[in-house]
Chain A
């Protein structure tokens, strides 16, 4: 039995070493700030993303498919109350600024800020932050994206 567990753990080592352990911005933000607020986070998991591809209306739309192929997950954070919006927005900015090594400001337009997390040349996380129209929105994609892809998102 001991030997069996030992070998099993050896097999698992590659999975444990430098494997997938990161958290995206929205989940961290929610963990730190959601309690006692009207913050709501809607999540689409990687598993669901691939399920979506199999829906007919989507599968036949080549642009939708192309978008889905670049993305692995989606989280959309919104607040219910316009009273807290400024404070919650500032908290998001502080969290991003406190992690400048991880999240870099990529673009700003029309009251929206775009941040990215890159690994090498690949953009693995894209965050849109805005408080336009008095409500906080954080849209957090993860995936394997290029700058060209991000450009298409902002120009559609």
Chain B
């Protein structure tokens, strides 16, 4: 039975966990908190996990996503707007330095990604940015591979439509 080591097994996952939490909450500070919570939570349960969980990575991503959604839900519990088509609020994803480096076009694409519904966002994040397989994504999101594929299809179609709009008019 392999013991989980924090430094070598959990800590290296911090970046992809951060990216997923950031994609969901769109807030750097929140995302960082969530990564810390995730790592510590998993660490707390390491005795039960050793030998039971097939992929520590997938498990951590699952915990991370659930924590992120929970936080998002609590935050949004105050704003019940049934009228306006308001998308996820202010974008705190880019640090000041990154904002300088991102030019207009990339910023538009970034906004496009952030406007996808959460599940589509998460699937795109895990597939296009983290390069995970449908099987892995299905495990993390608790869905069937079929639903993952349909979700990815919808997301990519949506990105394509919006993207082509940007290309045509946004210059």
Direct contact, A vs B (beta carbon within 8 Å): yes
By a beta-carbon cutoff of 8 Å, the part of chain A in contact with chain B is 28, 32, 94-95, 97-102, 105, 107-109
Q: Does B77 contact A (CB under 8 A)?
A: yes
Whether B84 and A99, one on each chain, are in contact in the complex, defined by CB atoms closer than 8 angstroms, is no
Q: Which of B83, B117, B150 contacts A100 (CB 8 A)?
A: B117
For the complex, is B32 an interface residue (Cβ under 8 Å from A)?
A: no
Q: Which of A28, A105, A107, A109 touches B117 (beta carbons < 8 Å)?
A: A105
Min CB gap B171→A, angstroms = 26
Are A108's CB and B80's CB within 8 A? Answer: no
Q: Judge whether B73 is part of the interface by a CB distance below 8 angstroms.
A: yes
Interface residues of B in 113-171 (CB under 8 A from A): 117-119, 147, 150-151
Residue of A nearest to B151 (CB): A108
Q: Which residues of A contact B77 (CB under 8 A)?
A: 101
B67 CB, nearest partner CB in chain A, Å:
16
Chain B contacts to A: CB under 8 angstroms: 72-73, 76-77, 79-87, 117-119, 147, 150-151
CB distance from B115 to the nearest CB of A (A): 9
From A95, A101, A107, contact of B76 by CB (8 A)? A101
Other A-B contacts than A99-B81, A101-B77, 6 sampled, CB-CB below 8 A, are: A95-B82, A99-B80, A99-B82, A101-B79, A107-B147, A108-B150
A98 contacts across to B, CB distance below 8 A = 81-82, 84-87
**8 nearest A-B residue pairs (beta carbon):** A101-B76, A98-B85, A97-B117, A28-B82, A94-B85, A105-B119, A108-B150, A108-B147
List the A residue with the shortest CB-CB distance to B150.
Answer: A108
Least CB distance, A47 to chain B, in whole angstroms? 25
Dominant SS at the A interface?
mixed
CB-CB under 8 A from A94, the residues of chain B are 85
Cα–Cα distance between A98 and B72 once the two chains are bound (Å) = 14
A23 vs B77: C-alpha distance in the bound complex, in angstroms? 16
Chain B residues contacting A107 (CB-CB under 8 Å) are 147
Report B-chain residues with C-beta under 8 Å of the C-beta of A108. Answer: 147, 150-151
Distance of A46 Cα from B117 Cα, bound (Å): 32
Q: How far is the CB of A67 from chain B (nearest CB, A)?
A: 25
Taking CB atoms, residues of chain A closer than 8 Å to B72 are: 101
Whether A102 contacts B80 by the Cβ 8 Å rule is yes
Do A101 and B80 touch across chains, with their CB atoms under 8 A apart? Answer: yes
Q: Is A101 within 8 A of B147, CB to CB?
A: no
Tell me the smallest distance from the CB of B25 to a CB of chain A, in Å: 13
Q: How far does the Cβ of A10 sit from chain B's closest Cβ, in whole Å?
A: 28
Residue of B nearest to A97 (CB): B117
Give the shortest distance, in Å, between B18 (CB) and chain A (any CB). 22
